[in-house]
């Protein structure tokens, strides 16, 4: 079945450091890929998405590129801020749009 694997956390960085959170997936067909984020005390919300190979999703300084050859969708940000501290979930939907799979989540803490 479809699955998503993320790097284990927690990840702790200093402000202005470069961030990479690795995400790889297993799926048949052509899934759509997502990053959702959960800030402290808030609900899950969509951060960015990509629907086909080589698409790049971006939002709030975060980027991720859909790499079909490596089945990856790594999240990156050039300079993190304390306000980026949150739990980040990589996710996919199958190409029929009838199933949605989240990864286990990666907790990021950014220190001032």
Tell me the three state secondary structure of residue 52: coil
Nearer to other proteins, 63 or 94 (CB): 94
- Asked if residues 23 and 104 have their Cβ atoms less than 8 Å apart, the reply is no
Residue 81 Cβ vs other proteins, minimum distance, rounded to whole Å: 23
Q: Exposed, middle or buried, 7 (CB in 10 Å: 0-12/13-18/19+)?
A: middle
Residue 79 Cβ vs other proteins, minimum distance, rounded to whole Å: 25
* Site for other proteins, rule CB under 8 A: 1, 4, 32, 34, 43-46, 49, 51, 89, 91, 93, 97-105
- Asked if residues 112 and 82 have their Cβ atoms less than 8 Å apart, the reply is yes
Residue 112 Cβ vs other proteins, minimum distance, rounded to whole Å: 26
Nearer to other proteins, 34 or 73 (CB): 34
């Amino acid at each position: 079945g479809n699955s998503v694997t993320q790097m284990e956390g927690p990840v702790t960085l200093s402000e202005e450091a470069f961030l990479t959170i690795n995400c790889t997936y297993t799926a048949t067909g052509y899934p759509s890929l997502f990053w959702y984020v959960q800030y402290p005390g808030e609900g899950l919300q969509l951060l960015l998405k990509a629907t086909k190979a080589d698409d790049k999703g971006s939002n709030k300084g975060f980027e991720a590129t859909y790499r079909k050859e490596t089945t990856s969708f790594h999240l990156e940000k050039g300079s993190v801020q304390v306000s980026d501290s949150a739990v980040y979930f990589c996710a996919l939907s199958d190409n029929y749009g009838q199933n949605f799979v989240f990864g286990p989540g990666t907790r990021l803490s950014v220190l001032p």
